[in-house]
Structure 1
Amino acid sequence: MGKEYILILIVFSLGVLAKSDLLSLAAVILFILKALHLHSIFPILEDKGLDLGLLFLILAVLTPLITDDNGLSELVTAFKSPVGILALLGGLLATKLNGMGLELLETEPHLIVQMVLGSLIGIIFLDGIPVGPLMAGGLTALFFQLFRFFIS
């Protein structure tokens, strides 16, 4: 058994320990794809997987707007409240950080291993939810910029 199988079994085990069904399922799917020698799927997953995941996330978030008769009035009301305005600012900051994360991952792709490890630790010990490498990359880029600012 190659080291790739051992690594994915470790990820699976961590997913089980963290009670993260999604992480465990992802590990099982990757294990099966690897065992069946369906290597041609891996570049597609690497290239389009994030986009597909974001598409489904956006669909889940926007669905109440189209299925709820009060969606528009609730949206307008949210902008009139302090928490609604903070949510708007949070969305702006998150997208900026995600863009910084994408840039960082494009220039420093080797950092993905540390980000995944940090995400796994966060899932297990902080009851976190894995939302993808972009936010981890964005926070890493922000921390790096702050580090450079304070060092120079």
Structure 2
Amino acid sequence: MNGEIIMVVLIIIGLISRSSIITTAACLLLIVKLVHLDRYLPTIERRGLELGLLFLTMGVLVPFVSGRIATKDVWATITSWPGLVAIAGGAIATIMNAKGLETLKIDPQIIVGLVLGSIIGITFFKGIPVGPLMAAGLTALIMKIIQLILNRIL
């Protein structure tokens, strides 16, 4: 029953904050639970991230296939300093995502804090929840920095 209550609270928070993503996700999971399709929850948990990343990547690649970004634009971008910085940013982001995945495997209960932080970011700062892996990666980085500081102090 706790899970259903949490989903209802998330639906309310999503509605108040006008976050259709949180509202829709919580509604769909609540429906899965209420119509006794619980057996699909592990699959949703395991494959949901992959599907989300698939659709996110497809959305990012649409300008290429639609012709809005031409080959000459790609070369102009990757040979400019902002393009090179973007390449570095993409590489760093994937490393952070890998660290986030490691953190979630080692400490899965941290997802509670990530979800709460995402809700706070969406509700109060108009953020967009695109990545629990990135959030976990940033959490891992912050935890590592705090550990290094504490080790130097102690």
What is the TM-score normalised by the length of structure 1? Answer: 0.94
CA contact (8 A) 2:104 2:111 kept: yes
SS of 2:43 mapped into structure 1: helix
**1: CA distance, partners of 2:130 / 2:90:** 14
* Displacement after TM superposition at 1:108 (Å): 0.4
Q: How does 1:26-65 map to 2 (within 5 A)?
A: 26-65=25-64
C-alpha distance in structure 2 between counterparts of 1:41 and 1:59, whole Å = 25
Cα distance, 1:63 vs. partner? 2.0
Shift of 1:81: 2.4
1:148 correspondence with 2:147 = yes
Moved more, 5-14 or 78-87: 78-87
Tell me, which stretches of 5 or more residues in structure 2 are unaligned? Answer: none
1:136 Cα deviation (Å)?
A: 0.6
Describe the SS at the equivalent of 2:18: coil
What are the within-5 Å matches in structure 2 for residues 1-152 of structure 1? 2-68=1-67, 70-152=69-151
Distance 1:60 1:150 in 2: 40
User: RMSD in angstroms over aligned alpha carbons?
Assistant: 1.2
Letter in 2 for 1:145: K
CA–CA distance in 2 between the matches of 1:69 and 1:24?
A: 32
Answer yes or no: is the 8 Å Cα contact 2:63–2:69 preserved in 1.
no
- Structure 2 distance, partners of 1:59, 1:70, is 14
> Identity, % of aligned pairs?
40
* Cα deviation, residue 32, structure 1: 0.8
Q: CA deviation at 1:70?
A: 4.4
